[in-house]
Amino acid sequence: MSKDKKNEGKEILEELKELSEWQKRNQEYLKKKAEEEAALAEEKEKERQARMGEESEKSEDQESETDPEDEESAKEKSEEKVASSEGDKDEEEIKESGFKEDEEQDKKDTKEKVAKAKIPGLHILRALTILFPSLLLLIISAYLLSPYANMKDIRVEGTVQTTADDILQASGIQDSDYTINLLLDKAKYEERIKSNYWVESAQLVYQFPTKFTIKVKEYDIVAYYISGENHYPILSSGQLETSAVSLVSLPETYLSVLFNDSEQIKVFVSELSQISPELKAAIQKVELAPSKVTSDLIRLTMNDSDEVLVPLSEMSKKLPYYSKIKPQLSEPSVIDMEAGIYSYTVADKLIMEAEEKAKQEAKEAEKKQEEERKRLEEEKKKQEEESNRNQTTQRSSRR
């Protein structure tokens, strides 16, 4: 009997395999329901057997004698019940094994479906290479079309001699320029700002979202060209400012330059930048003093009334010797560095200048006397010629 039930279970499993997915699920539901009913039936059977056992014990107590045939029949019934319970258990085991096999099959099917539905990574990568640039282009286009593309908050820092308007005008930045253009062409705008001759360096700094700061460093004023009452700044770049500054804005001490030749000023600023700050601060005034030998000779008047004669092209080389000579001077002196280096006092200079002036005046007096003598001789010669012409005319008239 148990073998027949096993065969029936196998046939049921084969039929389940051939069923559709919905039918399998329905069959599973029916199996579970049948299992629950069998479990309930088994419990009821056990309770019934327990009650029968109790009743049999009571009947055994009440009846002292029993029929052996009844005992045998009772044994056979109990054996049949055990066999039927064993068959039910086998059938339940077959059903459980079939249910487990169905579950395993369903898991395999779902795994196969997931594996089939999975997109290869290569296709995903290809899609990203197209989608990402397209999305980026869309964002940039939307930004350029929005009013935020032209919004700029520009500030200027570091201006002293110039104004923020001058810097903005030199930069060439327009209200219609895109913000992204300022970021991409920072170097171009910085070079434009440096076209202002006051600007030594310029830096365009961006701060999110629309703030720009132009940081400017101006050239220093190293001297002032003096023409009458007007003072014109000379920058450390060698540029001479064409606009005079007010006397109120002048510093307490400054270097005065009494020549305005652009090439000579550039050479002077270049040579001046190579000497020490202490020596530079000791110079009060610079003027041209060309000689027959040195055409670019200049005279430096120091703050302590000393004077230094030095070629402009050799100033940075020879002027440092003044610091070594100065301690040896007991009174204001002239240090001549035109050819070699030697010094003499200002009093000696005045005597020499007086002698030179006297010589010059004597030369001029001699020149005037010579010119007067030549004039007198020419007048005498003219008078003689005039008298000769008169005599010839008289003779001709007598004839």
Of 212, 215, 207, 238, nearest to 225 by C-alpha is 238
At 151, is the pLDDT very low, low, confident or very high (cuts 50, 70, 90)? Answer: confident
In terms of CATH architecture, what is 147-218? Answer: Roll (3.10)
Of 178, 152, 156, 153, nearest to 167 by C-alpha is 156
Per-residue pLDDT of 271-284, as tens digits, reads 999 999 999 999 99
Residue 203 has pLDDT above 50, yes or no: yes
CA distance 331 to 338: 21
Task: Determine what percent of the chain is predicted with pLDDT higher than 90.
Answer: 35
pLDDT of residue 65: 44
Q: How far is CA 4 from the centre of its chain?
A: 89
SS3 for 276?
coil
What would the mean pLDDT of 386-394 be, rounded to a whole number?
A: 76
Residue 332 has pLDDT above 70, yes or no: yes
Q: Out of 33-47, 217-231, 326-340, which region has the weakest mean confidence (pLDDT)? A: 33-47
Q: Which stretches of 155-299 are DSSP H helices?
A: 164-171, 179-184, 186-193, 262-272, 277-281
What would the mean pLDDT of 200-220 be, rounded to a whole number?
A: 92
Interior/surface letters 213-240, b for 16+ CB within 10 angstroms, e for the rest? ebebebbebbbbbbeeeebbbbbbebbb
At 399, is the pLDDT very low, low, confident or very high (cuts 50, 70, 90)? Answer: low
At 312, is the pLDDT very low, low, confident or very high (cuts 50, 70, 90)? Answer: very high
Q: In sequence order, what are the residues at sequence separation of 6 or more whose Cβ sits closer than 8 angstroms to the Cβ of residue 105?
A: 17
pLDDT of residue 61: 56
pLDDT of residue 220: 94
Per-residue pLDDT of 41-100, as tens digits, reads 888 888 887 777 766 666 655 544 444 444 455 445 555 554 455 555 555 555 555 555
Measured N-to-C along each axis, helices 68-117 and 2-18 cross at an angle, to the nearest 10 degrees, of 20
At 329, is the pLDDT very low, low, confident or very high (cuts 50, 70, 90)? Answer: confident
Residue 38 corresponds to which tokens in the numbers above? 């069998």
Average pLDDT, the chain: 80
User: Which one of 2.60.40.10, 3.30.497.10, 3.50.50.60, 3.40.50.10960 gives the CATH number of domain 221-349?
Assistant: 3.40.50.10960
Residue 124 has pLDDT above 90, yes or no: no
Q: What is this structure's pTM?
A: 0.56
At 231, is the pLDDT very low, low, confident or very high (cuts 50, 70, 90)? Answer: very high
Task: Determine what percent of the chain is predicted with pLDDT higher than 70.
Answer: 75
CA distance 327 to 145: 75
**H or E segment to which residue 11 belongs:** helix 2-18
Residue 215 corresponds to which tokens in the numbers above? 């940081």
Residue 172 has pLDDT above 60, yes or no: yes
Of 172, 79, 125, nearest to 71 by C-alpha is 79
Question: Reading across the β-sheet that carries 307-311, which strands appear in turn?
Answer: 230-235, 221-227, 256-257, 283-288, 297-302, 307-311, 333-336, 342-345
Q: Is the peptide bond before 209 cis (omega within 30 degrees of 0)?
A: yes
Beta strands in the chain (DSSP E): 153-157, 199-207, 211-218, 221-227, 230-235, 256-257, 283-288, 297-302, 307-311, 333-336, 342-345
Beta bridge partners of 240: 234
Per-residue pLDDT of 238-282, as tens digits, reads 999 999 999 998 999 999 999 999 999 999 999 999 999 999 999
pLDDT of residue 64: 46
Per-domain boundaries in the chain: 147-218, 221-349
Residue 356 has pLDDT above 90, yes or no: no
Are 223 and 237 in contact by the 8 Å Cβ rule? The answer is no
